[in-house]
């Protein structure tokens, strides 16, 4: 097996917290995918009222989303990743999205 698969939520949270401190060293794929998504979203001439971002971990992408939405909500299991956005509503959540309101978000992003 090439890598360790983490099923334990506490282990996943610790892993994401630890990774958040070294993200700039290893984020080349993240930056590439964020740039691609950002380019596609710029082509859509639509102002989204409410955007939900699930665990993207990219400060530049958060700034872009903040310009595209009236309200940006970001969720991540690691609190360190939530600190990358200054304007967004922030929630520490895992994969259980049932606590979020239904039919509220015009756009949901995850990277």
The per-residue pLDDT for range 15-67, each reduced to its tens digit, is 777 776 776 776 777 778 778 888 888 888 777 889 888 877 777 788 888 88
**Spatial separation of the C-alpha atoms in residues 89 and 84, rounded to whole Å:** 12
Phi, psi of 48 (to 5 degrees): -85, 135
Give the Cα-Cα-Cα angle 101, 72, 74 (nearest 5 degrees): 75
Query: Is the CB of residue 89 less than 8 Å from the CB of residue 73?
Result: yes
| pTM, to two decimals | 0.67
């Amino acid at each position: 097996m090439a890598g360790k698969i983490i099923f334990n939520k506490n282990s996943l949270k610790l892993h994401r917290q630890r990774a958040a401190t070294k993200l700039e060293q290893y984020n080349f794929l993240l930056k590439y995918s964020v740039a691609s998504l950002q380019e596609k979203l710029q082509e859509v001439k639509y102002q989204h009222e409410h955007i939900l971002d699930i665990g993207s971990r990219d400060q530049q992408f958060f700034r872009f989303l903040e310009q595209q939405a009236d309200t940006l909500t970001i969720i991540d299991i690691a609190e360190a990743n939530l600190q990358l956005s200054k304007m967004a509503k922030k929630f520490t959540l895992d994969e259980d999205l049932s606590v979020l309101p239904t039919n509220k978000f015009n756009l949901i992003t995850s990277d």
